[in-house]
């Protein structure tokens, strides 16, 4: 093809047909420009397809992380509900709202437990947000991350009450059973972690009453925020699925 065009140019020069030669040269330039533009369009299309594939792969991986986090949050809620049940019983008994309990429920040791808030969606994928081309999905993920940070703060406050207040009070008043830590079975260890008689001695004290107040408040708040985050998680997952 190049050889063919070279022959045409040479014939025009030999025939001294300068006007036609210039017109031909301009046409050749136009053809070259058109070829470059077509090549750029093809390259842009290829790049766009690559970006779409990357976005698709990212959203699939992110959806799997959201699913994992949802199960993690549900586990947190179940643990908090178990803890709230024990706290509520103690508050009611301390305020003479129910008859004194002769035997406390199994796993009384859950009173001093804490939940661990460890979502992976943001931790594993926050740095890859530039791969998202769908601006609506991107904005929804950013909003979800903000909500997640709010829950993290709520869980942090809850953990602070349990660790700094409740656990310290239980230890200072001899309510913890040191022999329980020798048990390898977690069920047995949890059931025997707290001495019921020592707990009853402190049940109506003002200090324990105030600690139970704060513990109940922060535990319920953490549970409520986690439940709301589960709803947000599921809504975001559905939105991403529909976009794929």
Q: What is the pLDDT along the chain (244 residues), one digit of tens a residue?
A: 445 445 555 554 455 555 554 555 566 666 666 777 776 777 677 777 777 788 888 899 999 999 999 999 999 999 999 999 899 989 988 887 766 655 555 678 888 889 999 999 998 888 888 888 888 999 999 999 999 999 999 999 999 999 999 999 999 999 999 998 888 888 888 888 899 889 989 988 999 999 999 999 999 999 999 999 999 999 999 999 998 8
pLDDT digits (tens, 9 = 90+) for 160-184: 999 999 999 999 999 999 998 888 8
**pTM of the full structure:** 0.78
3-state helix, strand, coil in the chain (%, to 5): 80, 0, 15
Question: How many domains, the chain?
Answer: 1
State the Cα torsion 122-123-128-132 to the nearest 10°: -10
Domain with 31, as residue range(s), is 2-243
Would you tell me the crossing angle of helices 18-94 and 135-160 to the nearest 10 degrees? Answer: 30
């Amino acid at each position: 093809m190049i050889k063919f065009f070279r022959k045409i140019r040479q014939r025009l020069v030999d025939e001294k047909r300068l006007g036609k030669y210039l017109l031909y040269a301009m046409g050749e330039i136009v053809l070259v420009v058109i070829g470059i533009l077509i090549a750029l369009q093809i390259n842009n299309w290829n790049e766009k397809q690559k970006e779409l594939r990357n976005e698709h792969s990212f959203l699939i991986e992110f959806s799997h992380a959201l699913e994992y986090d949802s199960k993690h949050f549900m586990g947190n809620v179940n643990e908090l509900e178990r803890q709230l049940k024990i706290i509520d019983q103690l508050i009611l008994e301390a305020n003479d709202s129910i008859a004194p309990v002769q035997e406390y429920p199994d796993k009384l040791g859950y009173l001093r437990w804490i939940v661990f808030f460890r979502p992976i969606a943001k931790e594993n994928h926050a740095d890859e947000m530039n791969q998202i081309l769908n601006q609506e999905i991107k904005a929804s993920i950013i909003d979800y991350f903000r909500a997640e940070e709010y829950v993290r703060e709520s869980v942090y406050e809850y953990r602070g009450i349990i660790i700094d207040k409740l656990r310290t009070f239980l230890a200072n008043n001899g309510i913890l059973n040191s022999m329980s830590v020798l048990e390898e079975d977690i069920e047995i260890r949890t059931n025997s972690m707290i001495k019921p008689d020592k707990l009853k001695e402190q049940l109506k004290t003002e200090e324990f009453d105030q600690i139970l107040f704060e513990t109940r408040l922060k535990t319920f708040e953490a549970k409520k925020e986690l439940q709301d985050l589960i709803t947000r998680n599921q809504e975001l997952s559905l939105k991403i699925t529909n976009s794929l």
